[in-house]
Structure 1
Amino acid sequence: MTDPTDPTDPTDPTDPTDPNAELPAPFGQRYEVNGHGLQTYRTGEGDTTVVLLPGGGSVGLDMWRVQEGIAQFATVLNYDRGGTGWSSREVKIPRGLREVTDELHELLRVADVAGPCILVGHSLGGLYARYFAARHPEQVAGLVLVEPGHEDFRKYMPKELTDVWDSFDPDNAVPGEIPQEIRDFYRGLFQEAMADFPDEIREPLVANHVHPGWLRIGIREGSNVKALGEEMRAAADRVPDVPTVILTATGIDAFKRAVSTGMPEELLAAETAGKLRLYDEVAASFSQGENRQVEGVGHVTLVMQRPDAVVEAVRDLHPAGRR
Structure 2
Amino acid sequence: MRPISGGLPSLGRHVDVDGHRLWIHRSGTGGPAVVFLPGAGAMGLDYLLAHDRVAEFTTSVIYDRAGTGWSQDADLPRSLDEVTDELRALLRALDVPPPYVLVGHSLGGAYTLRYAQRFPDEVAALLQLEPLHPDYDDYMPERLKLAANNMADMELPEVTDDLAALARGQFESGMLDVFPDDIRGQLIDKHTSPERLLIGIREGVNVQSLLDELRAGGPMPDVPVIVLSGTAIGAEQTVFQSEENLREQIAGSQRLFEAITAATPHGEHRALADASHITIPMVRSDAVADAAHDLLSGLRAT
Range class of TM-score, shorter chain: over 0.9
Is residue 141–residue 242 contact of structure 1 (8 Å, CA) maintained in 2? yes
**Counterpart check, 1:187 vs 2:168:** yes
Q: Which residue of 2 aligns with 1:124?
A: 107
Is residue 23–residue 204 contact of structure 1 (8 Å, CA) maintained in 2? no
Q: How big is the shift at 1:198?
A: 1.3
Q: List per-residue Cα deviations over 1:197-254 (Å, max 9, x = no partner).
A: 112211111011112321222211111000000001112x421110110011111111
Q: Which residue of 1 aligns with 2:257?
A: 279
What TM-score, normalized to structure 1?
0.87
Does the residue aligned with 1:215 lie in a helix, a strand or coil?
A: coil
Is residue 144–residue 313 contact of structure 1 (8 Å, CA) maintained in 2? yes
Q: How big is the shift at 1:47?
A: 2.5
Is residue 174–residue 215 contact of structure 1 (8 Å, CA) maintained in 2? no
Q: List per-residue Cα deviations over 1:287-318 (Å, max 9, x = no partner).
A: 11011101122111111111111111101011
Is residue 142–residue 148 contact of structure 2 (8 Å, CA) maintained in 1? no
Is residue 137–residue 147 contact of structure 2 (8 Å, CA) maintained in 1? no
Is residue 248–residue 292 contact of structure 1 (8 Å, CA) maintained in 2? yes
Q: Which residue of 1 aligns with 2:223?
A: 242
Q: Which residue of 2 aligns with 1:218?
A: 200
**Counterpart check, 1:229 vs 2:211:** yes
Q: List per-residue Cα deviations over 1:99-137 (Å, max 9, x = no partner).
A: 110111111111101111100010000110011011111
> What RMSD over aligned residues (CA atoms) do the two structures have, in Å?
2.1
Is residue 25–residue 62 contact of structure 2 (8 Å, CA) maintained in 1? yes
For 2:14, which of 24, 30, 33 is the aligned residue? 30
For 1:287 and 1:209, locate their aligned partners in 2 and report how far apart those are by CA, in whole Å: 39
Structure 1 244/168 Cα, relative in aligned 2: closer, same or farther at 3 Å?
closer
Is residue 151–residue 205 contact of structure 2 (8 Å, CA) maintained in 1? no
Is residue 55–residue 122 contact of structure 1 (8 Å, CA) maintained in 2? yes
**Counterpart check, 1:87 vs 2:71:** yes
Within a 5 Å distance, the mapping from 1:287-302 to structure 2 comes to: 287-302=265-280
Does the residue aligned with 1:87 lie in a helix, a strand or coil?
A: coil
Q: Which residue of 2 aligns with 1:101?
A: 84
**Counterpart check, 1:137 vs 2:103:** no
Does the residue aligned with 1:290 lie in a helix, a strand or coil?
A: strand
Is residue 147–residue 248 contact of structure 1 (8 Å, CA) maintained in 2? yes
Does the residue aligned with 2:24 lie in a helix, a strand or coil?
A: strand
For 1:44 and 1:197, locate their aligned partners in 2 and report how far apart those are by CA, in whole Å: 20
Q: How big is the shift at 1:94?
A: 0.4
For 1:253, which of 234, 237, 256 is the aligned residue? 234
Unpaired segments ≥5 residues, structure 1: 1-6, 15-21
Is residue 250–residue 272 contact of structure 1 (8 Å, CA) maintained in 2? yes
Q: How big is the shift at 1:167?
A: 6.5
Structure 1 107/230 Cα, relative in aligned 2: closer, same or farther at 3 Å?
same
For 1:233 and 1:141, locate their aligned partners in 2 and report how far apart those are by CA, in whole Å: 21
Structure 1 23/274 Cα, relative in aligned 2: closer, same or farther at 3 Å?
same
Does the residue aligned with 1:77 lie in a helix, a strand or coil?
A: strand
Is residue 73–residue 321 contact of structure 1 (8 Å, CA) maintained in 2? no
**Counterpart check, 1:65 vs 2:44:** no
Q: Which residue of 2 aligns with 1:311?
A: 289
Structure 1 163/291 Cα, relative in aligned 2: closer, same or farther at 3 Å?
closer
Is residue 34–residue 103 contact of structure 2 (8 Å, CA) maintained in 1? yes
Q: Which residue of 2 aligns with 1:208?
A: 190
**Counterpart check, 1:173 vs 2:151:** no
For 2:57 and 2:285, locate their aligned partners in 1 and report how far apart those are by CA, in whole Å: 15
Q: How big is the shift at 1:286?
A: 1.4
Between the aligned residues of both structures, percent identity stands at 40
Q: List per-residue Cα deviations over 1:20-53 (Å, max 9, x = no partner).
A: xx46422212111111111100011113210010
- What amino acid does structure 2 have at the position aligned with 1:146? L
Does the residue aligned with 1:188 lie in a helix, a strand or coil?
A: helix
Runs of 4+ in 1 over 4 A off after TM superposition: 167-171, 320-323
For 1:234 and 1:321, locate their aligned partners in 2 and report how far apart those are by CA, in whole Å: 29
**Counterpart check, 1:39 vs 2:23:** yes
- What amino acid does structure 1 have at the position aligned with 2:29? E
Q: How big is the shift at 1:169?
A: 6.6
For 1:13 and 1:50, locate their aligned partners in 2 and report how far apart those are by CA, in whole Å: 26
Q: How big is the shift at 1:165?
A: 5.7
For 2:59 and 2:152, locate their aligned partners in 1 and report how far apart those are by CA, in whole Å: 40
Q: List per-residue Cα deviations over 1:143-180 (Å, max 9, x = no partner).
A: 0000000112122111122389626577533314241x
Unpaired segments ≥5 residues, structure 2: none
